[in-house]
Amino acid sequence: MIMFAIISLPLFLSAGFTLAYVFTAGEVKYRCVVPECEDPSNTVFNTSWLPDSVPDASEMSKCTRYVVRNHTGVCTNQTFFNATRKCDSWIYDPSENTILSEWDLTCDTNRWKLALVGTINNVGQFVGLIFAGYVSDRYGRRTILTLTTFLSGISGLIHSFSVNYWMFLAFEFIDATVAAGIYSAGFILGMEMAGVRGRVLASTIICCMFAVGEMLLGLISMWLRSWRLILRMVYGPALLAILLPVLIPESVRWLLANGKHEKVESIYRKMARINGLQVSDEAIGAFKELNMVKTEKTEQLVVSEKKSPVMQILNSSTMLTRLLACSFCWLTNTFVYYGLSLNSVAFAGDKYTNFILVAIVEIPAYFLTWFLTDYIGRKATLSSSFLLSGAFCLAIQFLPTGSWTFLPLVLYMGGKWCITMSFSTIYIYTAELFPTNLRHSLLGICSMTGRMGSILSPQTPLLAQIMPALPLILFGCMALSAGLLSLFFPETLGTKLPDTVWEAENIGKVQEKQELQDSPS
């Protein structure tokens, strides 16, 4: 538990690294400056004549205002007449500060610049995942976790001192690229530390850590309400990651899979000392045997493991098919999850509170996933959550228009709940489907493919202009397809994490064969 607590700290931070742009590049209330009625160098946001100065008083963030008659003194509703002009400058709500108010990114002509920040962030994560998996599988889980978290802290602090929009955008890409491997590295390190029975609980705790990180991001943003201070508060603690090699060991499974046996015994003895246990050399040997790659493999298997990761996958039709299917499930998961978030009805209320509440809702979904994956299995949980999410999205189209106004919202949230469950399940399922020496690389490929879904999802509101129901129909069809495709995966409940390609190809088969041999004839 001590190790999990330490690993959780970078995971807290990764949520802020991933979603900080929601607040740093968020909307701010603003209005036009009316120089005939106020001194631009000494004015206030709310004035008595403000509703009379704009065509639509319900939304003050306009880029046009009424023309002022020849006037001196205090403005009234008689000051303006029914002719409009474009605004030259703006006054912003002083209660918060984002890049919109920092660099006057106002009106529809600049709206693309705010949307581009989120896209660049996801593109950066896409690029970073290409390298994160290779570095992790080559140099270790702890190495990539320490390196990416520490470098993210440096990059994020520089980011907070951006002097213009383009510098901000460049460091948004750099931050996302460097931080892309933090979550997957922490997830795999935690998974490889857990035993067979504790694997799902470990996955649930790690997923909840990300949700808690989202809640902390919302609280920090609510407190500071300044994009520069938010970045410094979120990224600053990442510099402490330089201490991780002193606090946590490298993954024992990774060490054994890479032939670094001399380091394993010292790690076991250190773990025993931390937990106040006294162990004999025999106990250490037995414990190592539980985690070691079995040496009694055939010579053919040993030769195949010496091949490059790409060749191992290309030479195995089972692994290649599994990788393609997993990649599609990841793409669907991120596309539907973020798409439902972006296309949801904008609820009234404080945006910070809403953000925190949405993060809180994810936690019970993760714990329900923990129960279901251990009770009915990984495959049934993943497939059913995909299928139900798709069914909820499509069912909305068959509701009578104008009746049961609450039911579409219930179905919509049901779809979001189920896709959150599939998000939790697919991480642990993917980690269990691939061998140790390729696990992070292949998980990185799946996550990288999934990142394409989060890049595309912001464009789905444009589909509603063609046909209002088109986004939900697309979400539903993709979720149903992923649910059916996931039925072809092998069940991994209760199985040992595969260390080799041969073991991954034969997940479940060896156990079934053994059970048949042991059964009475």
Domains of the chain with bracketed CATH: 1-28+108-248 (1.20.1250.20), 30-95 (no CATH), 252-299 (no CATH), 307-508 (1.20.1250.20)
Structure tokens at 95: 């209660």
Residue 31, strand partner residues = 91
- The number of C-alpha atoms within 13 Å of 39 and in the hemisphere containing its C-beta is 3
What pLDDT sits at residue 282? 58
- pLDDT given at position 2: 67
Distance CA 385, CA 342 (A): 20
d(CA 277, CA 398): 62
pLDDT reported for residue 174: 94
Rounded to the nearest 10 degrees, how much is the dihedral formed by the CA atoms of 5, 9, 12, 13? -170
> 278 and 272 in contact (C-beta within 8 Å)?
yes
Do 455 and 119 form a contact (C-beta atoms < 8 A)?
yes
* Beta bridge mates, 97: 226
In 3D, which of 125, 225, 146 has the Cα closest to residue 444?
Answer: 125
298-353 residue pLDDT tens = 344 444 455 565 676 677 778 888 889 999 999 999 999 877 776 654 444 577 88
Residue 521: its pLDDT value, please?
38
Low-confidence ranges of the chain (pLDDT < 50): 293-304, 345-348, 512-521
- Note the helical H segments in 160-198: 165-179, 182-193
The candidate with the shortest Cα–Cα distance to 103, out of 171, 59, 168, 29, is: 168
DSSP 99-127: HHHHTT--HHHHHHHHHHHHHHHHHHHHH
Q: Report pLDDT for 347.
A: 46
- Beta-ladder partners of 81: 67
Q: Is 436 helix (H, G, I), strand (E, B) or coil?
A: helix
Q: How far, in Å, are 5, 182, 208, 387 from residue 8 at the CA level? A: 5, 11, 10, 31
Question: According to the model, what pLDDT value does residue 517 have?
Answer: 44
Q: How do residues 416-434 score in pLDDT, each as one tens digit?
A: 888 888 988 887 788 888 8
Helices (H), 344-405: 351-375, 378-395
- First CA to last CA distance, the chain: 45
pLDDT value for 353? 80
Q: Which of 116, 121, 231 is nearest to 176 (CA)?
A: 121
Token pair of 450 as six digits: 């999934």
